[in-house]
């Protein structure tokens, strides 16, 4: 599947905590699904993800074993956003024209898969980093 096909398939799909299907995703589920469907890369299921462990702990553990940090925006890279204390809060996928495909939401208000510019999303967070899959 091409990146454009994936975007068209997923845009507007609902945010559901701990979901990773074409019908509903959270931010991690969207990244996992993208890597599988567009790049043919099977990411391991993050330890504690389905059990509801805190996102920042899962992110820190998984980035050490599955991802390596790259310096700048790269199409297909995972982008991570951090709060004021440098705690990872949200992830998405870098897509064309300095855009990020991401699923943002919460249990109370729901949410959906959207595309925003990297600069617009960066204004909502303290810092940003980019990662590629190790041996992906």
pTM of the model: 0.90
Strand, helix or coil for residue 84? coil
Dihedral sign computed on CA atoms, order 78, 117, 98, 14: positive
Contact indicator for 30, 18 with CB cutoff of 8 Å: no
Dihedral sign computed on CA atoms, order 88, 90, 96, 99: negative
Query: What does the block give as tokens for 99?
Result: 């855009």
Query: What does the block give as tokens for 86?
Result: 């440098």
Residue 73: predicted pLDDT? 87
Residue with tokens 């705690």: 87
pLDDT per position as a tens digit, 90-114: 999 999 899 999 999 998 999 999 9
Angstrom distance (rounded) from CA 94 to CA 103: 13
38 pLDDT higher than 70: yes
Give me the chain's average pLDDT, please: 90
């Amino acid at each position: 599947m091409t990146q454009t096909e994936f975007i068209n398939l997923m845009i507007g799909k609902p945010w559901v905590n701990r979901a990773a299907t074409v019908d509903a995703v959270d931010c991690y589920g969207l990244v996992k699904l993208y890597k599988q469907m567009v790049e043919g890369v099977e990411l391991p299921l993050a330890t504690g993800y389905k059990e509801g462990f805190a996102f920042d702990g899962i992110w820190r553990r998984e980035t050490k074993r599955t991802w390596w940090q790259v310096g700048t925006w790269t199409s297909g890279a995972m982008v991570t956003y951090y709060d004021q204390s440098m705690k990872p809060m949200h992830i998405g996928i870098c897509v064309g024209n300095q855009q990020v495909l991401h699923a943002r939401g919460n249990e109370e208000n729901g949410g959906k898969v959207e595309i925003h510019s990297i600069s617009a999303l960066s204004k909502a967070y303290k810092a940003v980093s980019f990662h590629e899959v190790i041996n992906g």
